[in-house]
Amino acid sequence: MKKALKIVTIGGGSSYTPEFAEGLITRAAHLPVAEWWLVDIEDGKEKMEIVGQLAQRMFKKAGLDTKVVMTLNRKEALKDADFVTTQFRVGLLEARMKDERIPLNYNSIGQETNGAGGLFKALRTIPVILDICKEMKELCPKAWLVNFTNPAGMITQAAITYGKHERTIGLCNVPIGMTKGIAESLKEKESDVEVLMAGLNHFVWATHAYVNGENQITKSLNFLIDNPAEAPANFSHEKWDPSTLRSMNVIPCSYHRYYFDTEKMLQEEIENAKTKGTRAEVVKKVEEELFELYKDLELKEKPKQLELRGGAHYSDAACGVIDAIYNDSNARIVANTINNSTIRSLPPHAAVESTCIVNKSGAHPLAVEELPQWMDQWLKLIFSYQDLTIQAAVNGDYNALLQAFFINPLTPKGAKAADLIKDLMIAHEQYLPQFKDLITSYKK
């Protein structure tokens, strides 16, 4: 008999929390949870209490005695935890709005995981994840850290290489959506298709889709090309040229469009910023409505409206990993892990996103076949700017940051880069202690 778990969720006041509760409830028969601690900061307290109480009602309705604890005291929560999940956002949606709007002033993509915005989200988040790793080392050294905080690849890499918390697994919902879409395109049940993915977070490709031992990726790709209306939202957005896609013979994720259709994506962002608001601004409104719903004491389940929020499948991903570890199930899950030898063209310390076997000893990525030159090259490029960004975040290294901009295809270079960096540094000043001297120098 294995013991019931203590799970801790940092950023507990997130609007995703009810989905997570649902995930735990669905799996309760084989995944017993004794305590679920939600942790947040003072600014998130109110939201945390709303979702925490909703979660309590949901567990009660399900007849489960899981104890939901809400706290601002992270250390108390971490003590003897079995799993720690992270879904916090440093600076809340206000910071995201800045990441989205400020780069637009430079005619440059403003987005929370790519371009200048993604880099600054990493700069703000990495110091916090390193603090969490430090506390875990002391308070729950054997706990698994399951991270969804974006940019999930960089955060995972920082936690393992600088935070030295090897038991870290990074997750994203993009591969889940892709897997579902590929199965649909092949008219197969999801469980009958073995999809292999490889790449980096938000820059991943499905390279194989086995049905009965035969790779059907070409068939899936052709279907998606020929039936854009039936393709998953992500894919159809992209307007890839069919001959380009066929020359690749792999299926891209939705975020690739930032790199391969940059101009159009930028125009959309500029247009949105003028009209309906940036993504953060839209999400803010959705969240306000959601929290109004959550407050309803009669509500005892995840409301349908949450799906508009955009985080579908996070629950699957996170609870799925906890389940696979707890039950030693060798489940096939796409996760972010340290590369080691998974993708030969990236260095061992890179966090890669790829198909893993998850069991009691963690997530074991499957070795990846040699990649074509064009993909190899793009992966190296994306990895390199992320690696430099992590160095910049950890050491407050302005040179590394300039160089990250220098190789990131979505950011300005040279003098324009220096100006944009300055604007973002000043805007996010309170979350960038490692750049204190630089920011002070800007103000002189």
- Give the HSE-up count for residue 197: Cα atoms under 13 Å, Cβ half-sphere: 32
Q: Which is nearer to its own copies, 55 or 334 (CB)?
A: 334
Of residues 325 through 344, those in contact with its own copies by CB under 8 A are 325, 330, 332, 339-344
Instruction: Tell me which of 49, 409, 429, 442 binds its own copies, using CB under 8 A.
Output: 409
Tokens of 7: 């799970």
| CA gap 340, 356 in Å, rounded | 13
The DSSP H or E segment spanning 45 is: helix 45-61
What separation in angstroms does the CA of 339 have from each of 119, 143, 153, 363? 21, 21, 11, 11
Using the rule CB under 8 A, is 361 a contact of its own copies?
yes
CB of 436 to its own copies, least distance (A): 18
DSSP code at position 110: B
Instruction: Tell me which of 26, 53, 71, 215 binds its own copies, using CB under 8 A.
Output: 215
CB of 421 to its own copies, least distance (A): 9
Q: Which is nearer to its own copies, 150 or 386 (CB)?
A: 386
Q: Which is nearer to its own copies, 52 or 362 (CB)?
A: 362
Q: Which is nearer to its own copies, 195 or 318 (CB)?
A: 195
In this structure, are strands 203-211 and 193-200 parallel, antiparallel, or unpaired? antiparallel
Q: What angle do CA 97, 134, 87 make, to 5 degrees?
A: 35
Contact predicate 133/84, CB 8 Å: no
Q: Is 298 exposed, middle or buried (0-12, 13-18, 19+ CB in 10 A)?
A: exposed
Using the rule CB under 8 A, is 301 a contact of its own copies?
no
| CA gap 97, 112 in Å, rounded | 9
Q: Which is nearer to its own copies, 290 or 334 (CB)?
A: 334
Using the rule CB under 8 A, is 388 a contact of its own copies?
yes
Of these residues, 16, 162, 255, 258, which one is catalytic? Answer: 255
What is the C-alpha radius of gyration for the chain, rounded to an integer number of angstroms?
21
Q: Which is nearer to its own copies, 17 or 85 (CB)?
A: 85
Residue 150: name the closest of 120, 109, 179, 176 by CA.
120
Using the rule CB under 8 A, is 222 a contact of its own copies?
no
Q: Which is nearer to its own copies, 63 or 213 (CB)?
A: 213
| CA gap 67, 77 in Å, rounded | 13
| CA gap 49, 57 in Å, rounded | 12
CB of 252 to its own copies, least distance (A): 10
Using the rule CB under 8 A, is 403 a contact of its own copies?
yes
Largest Cα separation within the chain, whole Å, is: 66
Using the rule CB under 8 A, is 105 a contact of its own copies?
no
3-state secondary structure of 143: coil
Using the rule CB under 8 A, is 188 a contact of its own copies?
no
The DSSP H or E segment spanning 147 is: strand 144-147
Using the rule CB under 8 A, is 413 a contact of its own copies?
yes
Contact predicate 240/251, CB 8 Å: no
Q: Which is nearer to its own copies, 210 or 291 (CB)?
A: 210
Annotated catalytic residue 255: yes
Query: For the window 243-282, what string marks contact with its own copies as x by the rule CB under 8 A?
Result: xx-xxx----------xxx-x-------------------
3-state secondary structure of 165: coil
Using the rule CB under 8 A, is 389 a contact of its own copies?
no
Instruction: Tell me which of 300, 364, 434, 442 binds its own copies, using CB under 8 A.
Output: 364
| CA gap 237, 247 in Å, rounded | 19
CB of 111 to its own copies, least distance (A): 18
Using the rule CB under 8 A, is 357 a contact of its own copies?
yes
- Total residues in contact with its own copies, by rule CB under 8 A: 67
Using the rule CB under 8 A, is 228 a contact of its own copies?
no
Tokens of 117: 């915005």
- The residues that touch its own copies, with contacts defined as CB under 8 A, are 107, 194, 208, 210, 212-215, 238-241, 243-244, 246-248, 259-261, 263, 325, 330, 332, 339-344, 348, 357, 359-362, 364-370, 372-374, 376-378, 380-381, 384, 387-388, 398-399, 402-403, 406-407, 409, 413-418
